[in-house]
């Protein structure tokens, strides 16, 4: 059997895994990223994580044909270069060629969100879909789009930054420098900001009391928990948040009509507490009449968690063998 290496580089941890041709992880390892160090030093830890994963898998290195790497930031997949990653401090880092030389095998570099999207298509919530988007709702909004098993990266390998489409003209400032971005409203950070504003304006609400019981720490699940307990302030927060999320997703559906949109990240773990109202709002806002038998984009939860990045990176590596 043929195997592939997948590497997922995060701001906190580096994860490496050995993956078979079906997308099954047979061995993995993890180590701290240490993002404040020179990029070449981090590369040494990545290679060590790969070595540890291979050892854990029991697979001979001779049976591993290629590797893939998922990295945050802007990447050039054709040259294997991380163009820039502000969180890690990387710029023009030719990680693909360096790893290829060290491992003596082809290496494919992809944006980490794109790799996770491919993982969900190969072995997760969008398995078998002809077209699928993965939207991760975390500190920001990560997004990837897979068409017929291939990651769509656009003309300059930087497509699918859906978090930075504007949904409120002149709205909240975004980290990218624009105002009113999808990410500023529909990320976990956006939801937490709205929740804190509601608590400040309604200090006697059930939402405020719940946050106080949790040590005045507000997270993405806080408004959902308070809303489920019947607090009207929390229900308004959740409804407002779902409205923003539905607006962005409806825009994507109207423009691209994917077969599946999988929702991941911290907020995605709310499951049907999020998806049920979200589906209703998206249906109201998407273009066209709803007739029996009409093909509709399915909204589902991601199922692979962190494994999506490993599997997707490995499968991206596998694709190198079949190019050209």
Calculate the average pLDDT of the chain. Answer: 93
Whether 312 and 210 share a structural domain: no
- Once rounded to an integer, what is the mean pLDDT over residues 307-314? 96
Strand partners, 13: 32
Higher per-residue pLDDT: 153 or 253? 253
Q: Are residues 204 and 280 in the same domain?
A: yes
Q: Are residues 220 and 240 in contact, defined by beta-carbon separation less than 8 angstroms?
A: no
Q: Tell me the H-state helices in the chain.
A: 39-57, 95-103, 112-123, 182-186, 188-201, 206-213, 222-228, 232-256, 265-268, 272-285, 307-320
Whether 324 has a pLDDT exceeding 50, the answer reads no
| Whether pLDDT at 1 is above 60 | yes
Instruction: Tell me: pLDDT of 291 over 90.
Output: no
Per the structure, the count of domains in the chain is: 2
How many contiguous H segments (helices) and E segments (strands) does the chain have? 11, 13
Q: What is the per-residue pLDDT for 289?
A: 62
Q: Does 23 have pLDDT greater than 50?
A: yes
256 and 285 in a common domain: yes
Say if residue 142 is in the same domain as residue 278: yes
Residues 178 and 44 in one domain: no
State mean pLDDT over 253-279. Answer: 95
Same domain for 138 and 106, yes or no, is: no
Q: Which domain holds residue 30?
A: 3-123+306-320
Give the mean model confidence (pLDDT) for residues 294-323.
Answer: 91
- pLDDT tens readout for residues 292-304: 667 899 999 999 9
Q: Give the CATH number, domain containing residue 311.
A: 3.30.420.40
Both 107 and 21 in a single domain? yes
- Are 271 and 142 contained in the same domain? yes
Span 5-15, pLDDT tens digits: 999 998 789 99
CB 18 within 8 A of CB 64: yes
Both tokens assigned to 230: 């019947």
- Say whether pLDDT at 321 is over 80: no
Stronger pLDDT, 61 or 226, i.e. the higher one: 226
Assess whether 180 and 80 both reside in one domain: no
Residue range 153-177: average pLDDT? 91
pLDDT for res 323: 61
Q: What per-residue confidence (pLDDT) applies to 203?
A: 96
Rounded Cα–Cα distance for residues 46 and 51 (Å): 9
**With 90 as the cut, is the pLDDT of residue 51 above it?**
yes
Q: Among 30-39, 119-128, 225-234, which stretch is predicted with the lowest mean pLDDT? A: 30-39
Asked whether residue 204 falls in the same domain as residue 261, the answer is: yes
Whether residue 104 is found in the same domain as residue 170: no
What DSSP state is assigned to residue 173? B
Question: Does 297 share its domain with 223?
Answer: yes
pLDDT, tens digit, 9 for 90 and up, residues 183-209: 999 999 999 999 999 999 999 999 999
């Amino acid at each position: 059997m043929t195997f592939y290496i997948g590497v997922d580089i995060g701001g906190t941890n580096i994860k490496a895994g050995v993956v078979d041709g079906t997308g099954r992880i047979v061995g993995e390892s993890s180590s701290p990223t240490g993002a404040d160090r020179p990029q070449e030093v981090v590369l040494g830890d990545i290679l060590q994580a790969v070595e540890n994963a291979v050892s854990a898998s029991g697979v001979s290195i001779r049976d591993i044909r290629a590797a893939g790497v998922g990295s945050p930031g802007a990447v050039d997949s054709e040259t294997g270069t991380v163009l820039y990653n502000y969180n890690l401090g990387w710029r023009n880092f030719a990680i693909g060629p360096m790893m290829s030389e060290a491992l003596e095998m082809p290496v494919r570099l992809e944006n980490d969100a794109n790799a996770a999207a491919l993982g969900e298509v190969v072995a997760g919530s969008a398995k078998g879909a002809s077209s699928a988007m993965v939207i991760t709702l975390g500190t920001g909004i990560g997004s990837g789009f897979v068409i017929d098993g291939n990651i769509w990266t656009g003309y300059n390998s930087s497509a699918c930054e859906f978090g930075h489409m504007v949904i409120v003209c002149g709205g909240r400032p975004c980290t990218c420098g624009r105002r009113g971005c999808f990410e500023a409203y529909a990320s976990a950070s956006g939801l937490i900001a709205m929740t804190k504003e509601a608590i400040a304006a309604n200090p006697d609400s059930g939402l405020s009391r719940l946050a106080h019981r949790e040590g005045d720490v507000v997270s993405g699940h806080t408004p959902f928990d308070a809303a489920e307990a019947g607090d009207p302030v929390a229900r308004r927060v959740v409804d407002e948040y779902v409205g923003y999320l539905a607006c962005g997703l409806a825009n994507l559906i109207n423009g691209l009509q994917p077969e599946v949109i999988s929702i991941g990240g911290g907020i995605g773990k709310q499951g049907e507490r999020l998806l049920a109202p979200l589906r209703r709002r998206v249906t109201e806002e998407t273009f066209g009449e709803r007739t029996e038998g009409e093909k509709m984009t399915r909204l589902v939860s991601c199922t692979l968690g962190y494994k999506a990045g490993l599997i997707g990176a490995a499968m991206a590596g596998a694709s190198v063998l079949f190019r050209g």
